[in-house]
């Protein structure tokens, strides 16, 4: 099935759909938003999250009726996430940075990745509020608003600007590790930043604006697109313990260079979020 898939058409379709869906985010970002709670009091969903996910899924299905989905809001329902198979599967976060969106802090994005035979072929991370569009196709480089981008090349942890997040849970064990890692990293790195969107953090690594990003607790839809964008920009994406990146493990470490990734990995206290995404 994947062999005959026109990936150029897939890219064109999703690039147009995120532009359309982005308007729903941009036009609602002038005021604070109503929200509902998901897994806890800092895990939020708005009507816009649901509307954007629906618009993207309906639009994709119109062109590619047999494609599958793993979408953040659909996966939060009782049935849970769809299993990743070899079928073309769109992994969608309709609003990554929902907390920012709720507060009208203009740093949220749509994140969409397409996997075929479990390999990511397309990645788009799009902040429609500030018109920041990061795109990649496997083997064809990474782009910011149409211009080719490259990671910084930074190898030295002491000179690195690193991003991470508090995450969307106040689980005591998890918070202990998060705070311990912030304290340890703050002593090692040049600068530490917490901006509120896992996908945009990784996009900043691809852009060369940040040198690395790590997080325990992310989901497949937060990182699928940005993983490809970072790698196509010449960076590395690995498991925070130093092994291979596993998109379902809820753990990620992206960096400009393997040297920097390994240096950060050595500093981090490890954490295994449960349940996994599969």
The β-bridge relationship of strands 212-216 and 161-163 is parallel
Contact 225, 124 (CB under 8 A): yes
* Widest distance between CA atoms in the chain: 51
Using CB under 6 A, pick the residue from 113, 123, 128, 217 that binds ligand LIP: 217
Using CB under 6 A, pick the residue from 71, 167, 235, 273 that binds ligand LIP: 167
Nearer to ligand LIP, 116 or 252 (CB): 252
Q: Where are the alpha helices (DSSP H) in 28-117?
A: 47-63, 72-75, 98-102
Nearer to ligand LIP, 96 or 121 (CB): 96
**Residue 24 touching ligand LIP (CB under 6 A):** no
- How far, in Å, CA of 110 to CA of 117, rounded? 23
Other Cβ atoms less than 10 A from the Cβ of 111: the count is: 33
Residue 238, CB-side half-sphere exposure with 13 Å CA sphere = 20
**String of b and e for 202-223 (b: at least 16 CB within 10 Å)?**
bbbbbbbebbbbbbbbbbbbbb
**String of b and e for 233-243 (b: at least 16 CB within 10 Å)?**
bbbbbbbbeee
Nearest to 94 by CA among 126, 131, 62: 126
**Residue 74 touching ligand LIP (CB under 6 A):** no
Q: How far is the CB of 167 from ligand LIP (least distance, A)?
A: 4
Using CB under 6 A, pick the residue from 73, 74, 96, 211 that binds ligand LIP: 96
Q: How far is the CB of 197 from ligand LIP (least distance, A)?
A: 4
Q: How far is the CB of 218 from ligand LIP (least distance, A)?
A: 4
Nearer to ligand LIP, 116 or 200 (CB): 200
Using CB under 6 A, pick the residue from 73, 74, 121, 165 that binds ligand LIP: 165
Q: Which stretch in 77-85, 213-221, 227-235, 251-259 sits in contact with ligand LIP by CB under 6 A? A: 213-221
Using CB under 6 A, pick the residue from 53, 74, 93, 211 that binds ligand LIP: 93
**Residue 197 touching ligand LIP (CB under 6 A):** yes
For ligand LIP, the binding residues (CB under 6 A) are 72, 93, 95-98, 165, 167-168, 196-198, 215, 217-218, 222
């Amino acid at each position: 099935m994947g062999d005959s898939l026109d990936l150029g058409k897939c890219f064109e379709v999703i690039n147009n759909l995120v532009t359309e869906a982005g308007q729903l985010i941009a036009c609602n970002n002038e005021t604070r938003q109503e929200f509902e709670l998901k897994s806890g009091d800092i895990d939020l969903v708005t009507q816009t999250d649901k509307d954007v996910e629906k618009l993207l899924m309906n639009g994709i299905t119109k062109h590619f009726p047999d494609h599958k989905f793993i979408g953040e809001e659909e996966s939060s329902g009782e049935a849970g996430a769809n299993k990743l198979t070899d079928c073309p599967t769109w992994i969608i976060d309709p609003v990554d940075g929902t907390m920012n969106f709720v507060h009208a802090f203009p740093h949220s994005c749509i994140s969409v990745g397409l996997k075929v035979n479990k390999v990511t072929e397309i990645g788009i991370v799009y902040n429609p509020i500030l018109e920041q569009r990061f795109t990649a196709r496997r083997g064809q480089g990474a782009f910011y608003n149409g211009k080719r981008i490259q990671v910084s090349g930074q190898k030295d942890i002491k000179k690195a600007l690193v991003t991470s997040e508090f995450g969307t849970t106040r689980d005591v064990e998890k918070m202990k590790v998060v705070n311990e890692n912030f304290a340890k990293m703050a002593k090692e790195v040049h600068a530490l930043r917490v901006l509120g969107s896992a996908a945009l953090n990784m996009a900043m690594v691809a852009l060369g604006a940040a040198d690395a990003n790590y997080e325990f607790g992310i989901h497949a839809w937060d990182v699928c697109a940005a993983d490809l964008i970072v790698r196509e920009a010449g960076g590395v994406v690995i498991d925070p313990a130093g092994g291979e990146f596993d998109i379902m493990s809820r753990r990620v470490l992206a960096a400009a260079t393997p040297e920097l990734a390994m240096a950060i990995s050595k500093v981090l206290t490890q954490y295994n979020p449960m349940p996994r995404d599969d």
